[in-house]
């Protein structure tokens, strides 16, 4: 009998088969054990993800970026790791929202952040869109939950466009170009001013008055001869006196420059517009004073102007004397249906001055006090940016309040019981300037050199822009016609508009009506009531010419003193 050894492996020496079986079982167990310990790689679970933010110059941006530099780099952060191939395919900058711009991508933070920059500089003053579509995929195969689009607006090229000249030469150029709107572009039959450069036969009474004053400035600057101007103004006054339909002596806002027929401004505004009439009379009286030679042509011009001036029935617009209110409109078919009283503070001081000054149909002082001044209700007295505003709405309203009446009325040293009118207008301009300089709404282009909010065309139509109605629209007339009040600030704007933006906004008749860098929009329009004040107020700054001529009118002096005004020129 063979001995069986039970310790160690000795037992298997006596049982080779059993040993082999045991060894096989042992090896199987080792293999099984090893397989259990090796981790099994599972495919990642696809999950949707989000965009955390988009940054430009380390600042988070919103859905619109105005005044964008032409070499931007955008950094986009996501909540998950991106599929880099998908990102390069889907993340895009497109010109006009359609044409892809070649870009360079850089990934960081485990591919959850991507930087995008353009291979070449973007175009100036152009619209682009940065898009993050929902087809953007993560590394796990998920997709971004929401579509993102950022509207990008590059700013204007502010390099110098024209040769630098002196400020006096530049003012000459600005006045000359703007004057051409009323000279070369005047209506071929009546010589009156077209409402805008697309008006056809539609002329404007108020804009024509401003144009008359611009022509006088042109004579003073030797842009046109005195005899040429007299001939032109005789044609205009002849048409106004004998051809144009008037209503109690007052002119409509618009009429046909070929036949004089009224063109309705609105459904109920189809007759007299007393405010527009006052701008026309302001210009005509200035011409009467300036063209004072004894020759037959200048005498004829003065006589026609006198006839036009004396036939305006200013007192009719108090509802024929029934009220101590002055009304803006009268319709031959609907009477005073518009019921708009001419109350201040706004652009209509000239209307009350002329109504009180009329040698034939004057209104009483009570009309001025009760209606225009609202018995002191037009006062403000608050300060904005450190500038006290005696009258009107907060922040002053649109700048034309300080321009239209003061094309002829000299505000220097002018006071009454309600205000110092130089302080009123100068501080209004400084408030407008400071608001644009501070740019609280972060509109593209606004600066100490690019400022001016007033009524003008805009991308959506026409609006009275001001600090309380700011839509990103700069109107060159606002700053340039403020030249007497803010000469340094206005000259800085003039230089900026001409040298830096001139390739976009300088044209045949001077500066276009307006522009909006946010919207990459430049008007293709010129408006008589915006072109005229530029010429006239720059001339008042340079020579006081129009102020001196208008306020030399005996009737105007009498009327202003009657209303309680004091000024050196009224003595």
In a domain? residue 390: yes
510 domain residue, yes or no: yes
DSSP calls for 103-166: EEEEEETTTTEEEEEESSPPPTT-EEEEEE-TT-BBTTS-BBSS-EEEEEEE----S--S----
Q: How many CB atoms lie within 10 A of CB 6?
A: 6
- pLDDT score recorded for residue 40: 58
Please say which residue of 91, 121, 154 terminates a domain. 154
Is the predicted pLDDT of residue 95 greater than 70, yes or no? yes
Bond into 43 cis (ω within 30): no
What digits encode the pLDDT tens for the residues 161-213?
999 999 999 999 999 999 999 999 999 999 999 999 999 999 999 999 999 99
3-state DSSP: the chain helix, strand, coil percent, rounded to 5?
40, 20, 40
Q: In this predicted model, what pLDDT tens digit does every residue of 262-321 receive, in sequence order?
A: 999 999 999 999 999 999 999 999 999 999 999 999 999 999 999 999 999 999 999 999
**What is residue 4's predicted lDDT score, i.e. its pLDDT?**
35
Distance CA 144, CA 79 (A): 9
Regarding whether 210 and 135 lie in a shared domain, the answer is no
Tens digits of residue pLDDT in 437-492: 999 999 999 999 999 999 999 999 999 999 999 999 999 999 999 999 999 999 99
The answer, yes or no, to whether residue 30 has pLDDT greater than 60, is no
Global pTM? 0.89
Reported as a single tens digit per residue, the pLDDT across 529-564 is: 999 999 999 999 999 999 999 999 999 999 999 999
Question: Is 367 part of any domain?
Answer: yes
pLDDT for residue 24 is more than 70: no
* pLDDT at residue number 131: 97
Domain match, 330 and 467 both: yes
With beta carbons less than 8 A apart as the criterion, state whether 175 and 217 touch.
yes
State pLDDT tens for residues 329-375: 999 999 999 999 999 999 999 999 999 999 999 999 999 999 999 99
- Is the model's pLDDT at 15 over the cut of 90? no
Q: What pLDDT is recorded for position 534?
A: 98
The alpha carbon dihedral of 303, 309, 312, 315 has a sign of negative
Is residue 146 included in any domain, yes or no?
yes
> Does 18 have pLDDT greater than 80?
no
Exposed, middle or buried by CB within 10 Å (0-12, 13-18, 19+), for 453? buried
Which of 31, 9, 30 lies closest to 20 in space, CA to CA?
A: 9
CA angle 428, 461, 464 (to 5 degrees): 15
Same domain, 193 and 122: no
Q: At 142, give phi and psi (nearest 5°).
A: -80, 175
Host domain of residue 117:
51-154
Q: What is the CATH number of the domain that holds 327?
A: 1.50.10.140
End-of-domain residue from the set 108, 126, 154: 154
Q: Is the pLDDT of residue 8 over 70?
A: no
My answer on whether 364 and 295 are in the same domain is: yes
| d(C-alpha 155, C-alpha 444), whole Å | 7
CATH code (residue 101) = 2.60.40.1220
pLDDT of 402 > 70? The answer is yes
Q: Are 306 and 380 part of one and the same domain?
A: yes
User: What mean pLDDT is reported for the chain?
Assistant: 93
Under 8 Å between Cβ of 353 and 344: no
Q: For residue 569, which phi and psi values (nearest 5 degrees)?
A: -80, -5
Give yes or no: residues 173 and 147 share one domain.
no
Terminus-to-terminus CA distance in the chain, angstroms?
156
Task: Classify strands 64-68 and 148-154 as parallel, antiparallel or unpaired.
Answer: parallel
Q: Are 199 and 122 in the same domain? A: no
Query: What is residue 439's DSSP assignment?
Result: -
Domain count, the chain: 2
Say yes or no: 143 and 291 in one domain. Answer: no
Last residue of a domain, one of 154, 175, 204: 154
Do 271 and 328 belong together in one domain? yes
Same domain, 412 and 322: yes
Same domain, 433 and 510: yes
Give the pair of three-digit tokens for residue 44: 């990642």
Please indicate, yes or no, if residue 119 is contained in any of the structural domains: yes
**Residue 204 and residue 302 in one domain:** yes
Q: Is residue 77 situated within a structural domain?
A: yes
**pLDDT given for residue 43 in this prediction:** 65
Confidence of residue 97 (pLDDT cuts 50, 70, 90): confident
Q: Report pLDDT for 312.
A: 98
Q: Which pLDDT value is given to residue 100?
A: 96
Within a domain: 42: no
According to DSSP, the residues that pair with 152 across neighbouring strands are 65, 128
pLDDT digits (tens, 9 = 90+) for 34-56: 444 555 566 667 889 999 999 99
Specify the pLDDT at position 3: 38
20, part of any domain:
no
Question: What DSSP element (H or E) covers 94?
Answer: strand 92-95
**Contact in structure between 331 and 269 (CB atoms under 8 Å):** yes
């Amino acid at each position: 009998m063979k001995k069986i050894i039970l310790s160690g492996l000795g037992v298997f020496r006596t049982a080779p088969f059993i040993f082999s079986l045991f060894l096989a079982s042992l090896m199987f167990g080792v293999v099984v054990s090893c397989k259990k310990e090796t981790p099994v790689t599972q495919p990642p679970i696809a999950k949707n993800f989000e965009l955390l933010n988009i940054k430009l110059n380390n600042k988070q941006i919103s859905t619109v970026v105005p005044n964008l530099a032409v070499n931007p780099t955008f950094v986009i952060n996501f909540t998950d790791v991106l599929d880099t191939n998908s990102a390069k395919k889907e993340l895009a900058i497109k010109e006009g929202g359609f044409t892809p711009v070649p870009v360079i991508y850089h990934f960081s933070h485990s591919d959850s952040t991507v930087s995008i920059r353009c291979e070449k500089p973007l175009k100036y003053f152009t619209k682009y869109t940065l898009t993050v579509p929902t087809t953007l995929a993560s590394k796990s195969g998920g997709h971004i939950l929401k579509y993102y689009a950022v509207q990008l607006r590059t700013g204007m090229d502010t390099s110098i466009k024209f040769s630098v000249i002196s400020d006096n030469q530049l003012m000459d150029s600005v006045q000359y170009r703007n004057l051409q709107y009323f000279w070369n572009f005047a209506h071929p039959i009546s010589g009156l001013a077209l409402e805008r450069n697309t008006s056809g036969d539609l002329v404007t009474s108020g804009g024509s008055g401003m144009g008359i004053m611009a022509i006088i400035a042109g004579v003073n600057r030797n842009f046109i001869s005195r005899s040429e101007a007299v001939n032109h103004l005789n044609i205009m006054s002849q048409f106004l006196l004998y051809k144009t339909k008037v209503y109690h002596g007052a002119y409509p806002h618009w009429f046909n420059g070929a036949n004089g027929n009224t063109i309705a401004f609105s459904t109920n505004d189809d007759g007299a517009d007393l405010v527009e009439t006052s701008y026309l009379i302001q210009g005509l009286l200035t011409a009467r004073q300036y063209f004072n030679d004894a020759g037959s042509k200048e005498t004829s011009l003065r006589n026609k102007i006198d006839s036009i001036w004396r036939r305006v029935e200013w007192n009719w617009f108090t509802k024929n004397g029934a009220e101590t209110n002055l009304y803006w409109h009268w319709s031959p078919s609907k009477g005073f249906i518009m019921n708009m009283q001419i109350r201040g503070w706004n652009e209509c001081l000239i209307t009350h001055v002329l109504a009180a000054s009329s040698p034939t149909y004057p209104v009483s002082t009570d009309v001025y006090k009760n209606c225009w001044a609202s018995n002191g209700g037009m006062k403000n007295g608050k300060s904005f940016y450190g500038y006290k505003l005696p009258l009107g709405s907060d922040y002053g309203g649109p700048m034309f309040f300080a321009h239209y009446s003061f094309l002829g009325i000299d505000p220097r040293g002018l006071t009454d019981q309600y205000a110092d009118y130089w302080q009123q207008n100068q501080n209004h301009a400084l408030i407008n300037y400071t608001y644009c300089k501070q740019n609280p709404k972060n509109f593209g282009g606004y600066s100490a050199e690019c400022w001016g909010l007033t009524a003008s065309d805009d991308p959506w139509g026409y609006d009275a822009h001001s600090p309380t109605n700011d839509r990103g629209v700069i109107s060159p007339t606002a700053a340039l016609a403020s030249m007497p009040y803010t000469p340094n600030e206005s000259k800085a704007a003039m230089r900026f508009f001409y040298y830096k933006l001139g390739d976009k906004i300088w044209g045949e008749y001077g500066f276009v009506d307006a522009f909006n860098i946010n919207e990459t929009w430049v008007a293709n329009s010129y408006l008589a009531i915006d072109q005229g004040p530029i010429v006239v107020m720059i001339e008042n700054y340079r020579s006081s010419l129009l102020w001196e001529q208008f306020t030399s009118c005996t009737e105007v002096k009498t009327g202003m003193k009657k209303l309680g005004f004091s000024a050196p020129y009224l003595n």
